[in-house]
Structure 1
Amino acid sequence: MKRLAAAMLLAGISNTIHADEPFVVQDIQVEGLQRVALGAALNNIPFSVGDSVTEYTLSRSIKTLFSAGHFDDIRVLRDGNAVIYRLKERPTINSIEFDGNKDIKDDQLNESLSAQRIQVGEPLDRTILRSIENGLTEFYHGVGKYQASVEVELVYLPRNRVNVIIKFDEGDAASVRQINIVGNEVFDNDTLLSVFESGQDKPWWRFLSSDRYQKQTLQGDFERVQSYYLDRGYLRFSIDSSQVSVSPDKSSVYVTLNVTEGEQYTVTGVRFAGDLIGQDALIERIVPIRPGELYNGALVTFTEETISRILARFGYANSRVTTIPDINDETKEVELTINVDPGKRIYVRRIDIAGNSNTKDEVFRRELRQLEGGWLSNDALELSKQRIQRLPYVERIEFETRDVPGIEDQVDITFNVREQPSGSFNAGISYGDFQGLAFQIGVEQSNFMGSGNSAGINLNTNKYQKTVSLNYNNPYFTLDGVSLGGQLFYTKTDYSSLSSNLEAYRQTRYGVGASMGIPINEFNRLNFGASISVNDLSLLQDYDQLRHFKNVILDGNDPDGRLKYINYELTAGWVQSTLNRGLFPTAGHYFGLNGRVSTPNSDLQFFKTTFEARKYIPLSRDHTWTFMSKLELGYGNGYGSRNGYDYTLPFNENFTAGGHNIRGFEHRIIGPRAVFRIPTTIPGLPDPIGGGSGNLPGDPSSDRYSVSQRSIGGNAMAVATLELITPTPFVGEDNRNSVRTSVFIDAGNVWDTEFDFNRYASLTQQRQFDREPLLADYSDPSMIRVSTGVSLQWISPMGPLTFSLAKIINKYDGDLQENFSFNIGATF
């Protein structure tokens, strides 16, 4: 038996040696190629004709060919000294289709498949398909859709091509039927469940809440529960375990959370360790944690983040701030050690501007507060971003920081700009019973030839007024941000041809002005200006409120002459703005106070002040929901006297409301009306020559009056707006900053502080038209008009388009409604 076993062993060894004997390859043949080139296949065979190979070499060549990713099956045969490869190519993907997917968009799926080289034109690796099915199914389970299934179907085509169809059956998401918390004694279940985003068994009317199970949301809920305890001193709180059970029909889940609350701990002290970069006093002062108070996890995190921000302000962008608690379980006290490791100070090597095709680099660079060569400051970067974002020709701005290869303490920064139309075709069309068809047109270029300077020409016309104006402004006339601008204007107004009994006059007004702005700091600016205007009035209808105006300007020797006057005016203003964008802001505030006064050497002496305040409060993290409040105030009057009459605010400087600032009301319909006094007359003495008799003025107490249908404006105004900015339906992420929808409430009034209602108390109103309103006390600021509605605004290539649909809530006698309005070139 021993001899037989030895013989068999020797025979096996002899066969192995013979099978692995090398041979010289005289020919290599490749069969089965269709799309793969012969040269590409031979490049993956690790030997050539004339090489000496073994059986082991041949088996290794199969692995090499498989790794190329072109073949499903590979066989190697030997015919003498010729090696024959019989290959079966993988089919080429002709198309990829998705059917039934709603939770995952096609773009997301294509991106994920491309990362695994599953894309049109690539060979299909069937081994990956199973992992794709499992991965997608696992995703649906993670969002609570346990009934979901994913199946990949292959449709084979001629020329070894294949269509890949991924079919989805998403099913319904499982709801959280019940959440149980075990081990809590200090806080009851209702208190803890109130911090959960995941809900349980929500009734139908709680449609804004969600009881849909999502794994990530539930994981976040567990962290919120832990934070709830840590913020109240329970330093030893722990979540021992959690279980998620799925009902047999996979429509519901039950969640159980096992916790250990522990006891509350008091902070005995806070000390610092590490390098505080010389800012010890500042850092110690801003720490909100005080000895004797309960431990608060939120305050600890806030302290760490605040210290990191302070360090980043001085160039230490990669600092590490950690808090180490020294816990005494016997006394239930904890001492905190805040360890500060600032790391290396980081400097900025280069700043690049990308994405700007219309605007010169220098326009953006002059807004930067982060400088090349200086240390990296997060505050300076954010401020730079905010300043660029405020420019009206910028839709979006982001920045990215890149390490400089081979240099640890330097970075490059790129500001990626997305521009929006900087030219504004300013136009508006509206129609009203009074003004008929009104049309305005103009061109405003806030980024003239890419320089950042603004220039414009505007023309406005309707059946009673024509206006043309030219303006130009350079916001960086000097390097430190002093602006300089100028304006030419011409207006011709003719109310004398109107059929209604509005105050009638003709006016030609033209002039020139200059303005200058001086920055005080990043958020405050002072503006100054001077102008001269020439005014020519004629055919001025004699309504009662004009008596002071006419008496101070008319020539006593020519009471029927033209009213021509020249005004020299000075302006001053203050602006504070922290808005995050120039157009369609979503955060920050704006305050603007402006005053204008004519100099004592002017023909008319008056002043006029306006104030505007806007506040934007984001209600969601992505700012798609934002609350906006707005307040506009105005007041003007005359100063000094002439010919025994006090100066008043010129009637053509009055504030008006309706249409442009209180939507839903017709243009210039709100506020004081013109009062036309109709004197009583008595027959005069007979004319001895003509035989007739003229009329003589009668008793003034018997006079009558009529009231105009439209407002002449007033010297005081107050308008407020509350607006809820909402996501715009059917608008994608790319256009979110150029389209805005909102729900608004407008309220306000215009009044005349100089109006004397008692002057007409004993007189009788003569109503010439059915629509003529009754006289009201136009000095009463409480006659508030209110409207509500929806608005859609779009920054189009022609400029901002505004569509408003409004309904009046509160109005007064004579107010006219304008439900729909459309405007180009103005935003609310």
Structure 2
Amino acid sequence: MIKNLCGTQMTYIRKFALLILFVLALPVQAIDTFIIADIQVEGLQRVTPGAVFVALPVRVGDEMNDLVSSNSIQALFETGYFDDVQLLRDGDTLIVSVVERPTIAVVTFDGNKKLKDEVIENALKVGGLAAGDVYNPELVESFTDELRGAYFEVGHFSAQIIPSVAPLDRNRVELNFVISEGKVALISEIQLVGNNQISDEEILDAITLTNKKTLGILNRNNRYNREQLRADLETISSLYLNQGFIEFSLNSARSFITEDHDRIKIVITMTEGIQYKFGELSIASSDEVMSQEELDKLIQEPEEEVYSFEEVSNTRNAISDSFANLGYGRAEVDALPTIHDDERKIDVNYVVKPGKLTYIRTITFRGNFSTTDEVLRREMRVLEGGLYTAREIQQSRNRLNRLGIFNSVDMDFVPVPGTENQVDVVVSVEERLTGSLLFGVGYSETEKASLNFSVSQTNLFGTGKRLVFGAEYGDIEQALNFDYTNPYYTLDGVSRGFTFDYRVRDTSDSDTALIYKIDYLTTGMNFAFPVSEEGVVGMGFDISQEDLSLTESLRDTTDYRVADYIGTGIKTTGGSAEISYRKDTRNRAFFATEGNNFYTGLRASGGDNQYLALTTSYSHYFPIGEKMVLRLSSQVDVASNDVPFYRNYYMSGSAELRGFTSGQIGAKQLCRTDTPSDDTVAIDGQDYRACESTRSLGGNVRMISRAELFFPFFGSDEIDDKRIALFVDHGGTFLRTDDSVYNQASTALGTREKFSFGNMRSSVGIGFEWLSPIGPFGIHYAIPVKQQPGDTADRFQINLGTFFD
């Protein structure tokens, strides 16, 4: 006969405490105590008997009584596996009868946009509600509350989450969450209470959250976000602490939401305290690594009289860096303040404990799956067994970044166990896709139809060598080019490169290009010699052959100087030599955030065409805060007056002056004519007119200047491989010539643009730039704000392959 030891029926339990009370309150049938001879489990489907025996607090041979029965039932319920548990007796056999909870077969959720799928999926796994877990109503309720709280964190106070359960066969269920996110609450007001010394305007300008709508649909800072509020509270604290209010405290930050959950008011209450100023500054070292005079030079007079935690921190870091540059990588710097309440001043004594000289035991590289260790090691400015010096460490990081083959470069310094003055340097890199294979079909008004093919590799076989091969076949131009550079031709870092370029260009059928045909071949060699840590002197030479011709029927529709230069056809040979100097202190090759890049180069061309050309460029990167970068750059190109027309400088709309049509800026073409009119001018018995083509002759003077503000792409915290650019471009191309006919005719026709800053063009715009897997890619929209007669706008431009870095 089977006897019910404890008649217990549990169908739904909300709280663990209620479970205990419920179990204790059950009417328990009094039973005779017996010794368990055997234990059997009934009703299992997916739960293993082992899981039951592990949870069950009794074993064969134990004594069974009313208290043990209640404890056993409670223990089995606590596993979360069962909806019902009964203990039965058959003689001396204990029978555990259970009803399993269903298993979750699938979990779905719909309606989420603000919270990504993977975020919710991970939360479900952590919460025990993933597919394969046992269905537990309490966990569903708890997860629903947590998910609703996550929406509250990002300002969706009207968010609703409705869970539902659908039964399936084999004791399984489908769990679904229907999410209605609702609107995000907008900040109606930020009220500051207790700020008497610092104005509302200064505080509100310092924080991110705002109730203003100045940026329209792009403004997300007027949307409530609890995490951003916490960050803003830290910003307010820092603002006060850096203005001498060392006793400042934030009392509360309360949020009041409207009944419709669409608007929220934030009230921040604070106590400012007394403002302190800097008193006396002093420095001392426990070891005589530096003289007292040298130590005193490390503490600069503060920029502001008021005491600033940031100023003290910066001074500590500067002192630490100075000792680290001497090899004391573990130097400790303490700033000991002495507060004088009567004078409201704070003296600061910087105490330095240099410790021992720090040496590097090993340097290892990680993440360079394609790149050989040698490529990285030759850029390191610290050596195994050598001193750890902060300056050389930073130089090593910058040099690796400037290679342009890594997305990121990180360095970790691991103390060597059992030593006080040794570290292992671990360099971790993330490799960039450095090779590309491109095939394209294109069409433009200038170039007509064309086929393009190119292969490039900036890290050939992982050696750091660069190889580019390209071919083009089109209606206007056919080309074949090759470029190879070995950056470490010698162990000292001397680079050597070879170039080859064969090109045939025939613009006879073009309505917009300068009309002529040229067939030229150029091949050259170049070297670069490092002269300092960031400075390189370059030398190169090339030889070339050019064959120019002009269809006779087109002589009257192209510029008369082009026609006179080519005549019935001209073949030239020559060569050129170039010497250059570059100093690059940028922290990385692409998307730099600090440093500068200077270049100047002089080219002398000999042979049939003899001329000089000078190019100078400079760009400087200014970090603004933690997310934005300002770049100011300029470039000047000047060639002597005898430079041939096809070597003139042109202004490309996408590469130099955004917002303008490429090739239109510069000297306008003048054509001879036999038909005098009001639009012609006679010089020495010959009539001249402005050519119909809008294509310019370019010029031998080109000036470009740019101001660009970069910030992370929407959704990113930093500028990594994508960025948004706000820019102002300014520039122009001018022709200085001794040709009196051109000077007179162009002046009379009103087409001459003399070199002057007043004849420059300007544009403003916005762009998106991306280091894509196939190379740099940019989309820019620019509006010309200063134009000259005859200019046409090309506002939307796409650029692939080059940036302005």
The question of a shared fold, defined as TM-score above 0.5 by the shorter chain, is answered with yes
SS of alignment partner, residue 297 of structure 2: helix
Q: How far off is 1:518 after superposition?
A: 1.8
SS of alignment partner, residue 469 of structure 1: strand
Aligned CA distance change for structure 1 residues 318 and 144 (closer, same or farther; 3 Å): farther
Aligned CA distance change for structure 1 residues 385 and 597 (closer, same or farther; 3 Å): same
SS of alignment partner, residue 112 of structure 1: helix
1:661 partnered with 2:656: yes
**Aligned pair partner of 1:671 in 666, 675, 696:** 666
Q: Is the 8 A contact 1:426 1:444 kept in 2?
A: no
Alignment correspondent of 1:244? 254
Q: How far off is 1:267 after superposition?
A: 0.9
Alignment correspondent of 1:637? 640
Tell me, in whole angstroms, the C-alpha distance in 2 between the residues paired with 1:763 and 1:219: 66
244-253 or 414-423, larger mean C-alpha shift: 244-253
Tell me, in whole angstroms, the C-alpha distance in 2 between the residues paired with 1:212 and 1:591: 43
Q: Is the 8 A contact 2:539 2:577 kept in 1?
A: yes
**Aligned pair partner of 1:825 in 794, 801, 804:** 801
Q: What pairs up with 1:647-726 in 2 under 5 angstroms?
A: 648-659=642-653, 660-676=655-671, 701-708=684-691, 709=693, 710-725=695-710
Aligned CA distance change for structure 1 residues 134 and 390 (closer, same or farther; 3 Å): same
The count of aligned residue pairs is 756
1:327-382 deviation per Cα after TM superposition (whole angstroms, max 9, x unaligned)? 23234343323344567877665555444444334333433445555566665555
Alignment correspondent of 2:542? 531
Q: Is the 8 A contact 2:363 2:424 kept in 1?
A: no
Alignment correspondent of 2:109? 98
Q: What amino acid is aligned across from residue 252 of structure 2 in structure 1?
A: S
1:276-300 deviation per Cα after TM superposition (whole angstroms, max 9, x unaligned)? 8658765542223569954333311
Q: Is the 8 A contact 1:266 1:293 kept in 2?
A: yes
342-351 or 517-526, larger mean C-alpha shift: 342-351
User: How big is the alpha-carbon RMSD for the aligned residues of Structure 1 and Structure 2?
Assistant: 4.6
Q: How far off is 1:35 after superposition?
A: 0.9
SS of alignment partner, residue 670 of structure 1: coil
Alignment correspondent of 2:436? 423
Alignment correspondent of 1:593? 600
Q: How far off is 1:476 after superposition?
A: 1.6
Tell me, in whole angstroms, the C-alpha distance in 2 between the residues paired with 1:258 and 1:561: 86
Alignment correspondent of 1:692? none
**Aligned pair partner of 1:164 in 175, 194, 197:** 175
1:270 partnered with 2:282: yes
SS of alignment partner, residue 325 of structure 1: strand
Alignment correspondent of 1:181? 193
Tell me, in whole angstroms, the C-alpha distance in 2 between the residues paired with 1:791 and 1:385: 29
SS of alignment partner, residue 244 of structure 2: coil
Q: How far off is 1:515 after superposition?
A: 0.8
1:223-259 deviation per Cα after TM superposition (whole angstroms, max 9, x unaligned)? 4444444434344x33373363636737544525242
Q: How far off is 1:514 after superposition?
A: 1.0
Q: Is the 8 A contact 1:426 1:825 kept in 2?
A: no
Q: Is the 8 A contact 2:500 2:523 kept in 1?
A: yes
Tell me, in whole angstroms, the C-alpha distance in 2 between the residues paired with 1:791 and 1:258: 42
Tell me, in whole angstroms, the C-alpha distance in 2 between the residues paired with 1:300 and 1:790: 39
**Aligned pair partner of 1:513 in 518, 524, 530:** 524
Tell me, in whole angstroms, the C-alpha distance in 1 between the residues paired with 2:274 and 2:579: 64
SS of alignment partner, residue 684 of structure 2: helix
Q: How far off is 1:609 after superposition?
A: 1.1
Give ranges in structure 1 of 5+ residues lacking alignment. Answer: 1-17, 551-559, 639-647, 682-698, 766-772
Alignment correspondent of 1:753? 736
**Aligned pair partner of 2:589 in 574, 582, 592:** 582
What's the TM-score, normalizing by structure 1?
0.77
Aligned CA distance change for structure 1 residues 562 and 146 (closer, same or farther; 3 Å): closer
SS of alignment partner, residue 376 of structure 2: helix
1:69-90 deviation per Cα after TM superposition (whole angstroms, max 9, x unaligned)? 6456655444443232233434
State the structure with more CA Rg: 1
What's the TM-score, normalizing by structure 2?
0.79
SS of alignment partner, residue 759 of structure 2: coil
1:703-746 deviation per Cα after TM superposition (whole angstroms, max 9, x unaligned)? 222444332222111133444546556xx769985555545544
Q: What pairs up with 1:364-513 in 2 under 5 angstroms?
A: 364-369=376-381, 371-372=383-384, 382-399=394-411, 410-411=423-424, 413-423=426-436, 425=438, 429-432=442-445, 435-437=447-449, 440-494=452-506, 497=508, 506-513=517-524
Q: Is the 8 A contact 2:504 2:519 kept in 1?
A: yes
Aligned CA distance change for structure 1 residues 67 and 400 (closer, same or farther; 3 Å): farther
Q: What amino acid is aligned across from residue 619 of structure 2 in structure 1?
A: R
Tell me, in whole angstroms, the C-alpha distance in 1 between the residues paired with 2:89 and 2:781: 84
Q: Is the 8 A contact 2:670 2:746 kept in 1?
A: no
Tell me, in whole angstroms, the C-alpha distance in 2 between the residues paired with 1:636 and 1:750: 12
Give ranges in structure 2 of 5+ residues lacking alignment. Answer: 1-29, 677-681
Alignment correspondent of 2:577? 570
Q: How far off is 1:595 after superposition?
A: 1.4
Tell me, in whole angstroms, the C-alpha distance in 2 between the residues paired with 1:544 and 1:42: 102
Q: Is the 8 A contact 2:407 2:429 kept in 1?
A: no
Tell me, in whole angstroms, the C-alpha distance in 2 between the residues paired with 1:117 and 1:243: 34
Alignment correspondent of 2:339? 327
Q: Is the 8 A contact 1:704 1:764 kept in 2?
A: no
SS of alignment partner, residue 711 of structure 1: coil
Q: How far off is 1:634 after superposition?
A: 0.7
1:734-765 deviation per Cα after TM superposition (whole angstroms, max 9, x unaligned)? 99855555455444222222245676648998
Aligned CA distance change for structure 1 residues 782 and 216 (closer, same or farther; 3 Å): closer
